[in-house]
Amino acid sequence: MDVVIYHNPACGTSRNTLALIRHVGIEPHVIEYLKTPPSRALVAQLVERMGGSVRDILREKGTPYADLGLDDGDLSDDQLLDAIAAHPILMNRPIVVTPLGVKLCRPSETVLDLLPDPLAKPFVKEDGQVILDA
């Protein structure tokens, strides 16, 4: 199964999501989106495939969100896409793409909806939270 994860290795949720994908035996294509940002058009396509709005993938914490005034509800998706293109850190992570769909996987176990097989063996997140017990 082809799986793509837009990943930030500094993010625990992103690391846990990547670990869950690998835990079910899939080696995804990992895109460190801060090093290799997706194009504005690709971000728009991902949002469309998720069935939401650009605002759904905006990250506030640790970003210039407030400084850029992105809390203004009158901003259009085009304006928000421009902001993400200029500041890729504004794109929340991890976004996972599989043949079963596209999702912002927060919390990390949301990725299980996009994978073909349920967990067959125990999995524990970095913080000790048990996702599947023995």
Other beta carbons within 10 Å of 42: 11
Catalytic one among 6, 7, 8, 11?
Answer: 11
Pair 49, 101: CB distance under 8 Å? yes
Helical segments of 31-107, H only: 40-50, 77-86
| CA pair distance 84, 43, nearest whole angstrom | 8
Dihedral, CA atoms, 3, 31, 110, 55, nearest 10 degrees?
-120
Is 105 tagged catalytic? no
| CA pair distance 91, 64, nearest whole angstrom | 11
Give the residue numbers marked as catalytic: 11
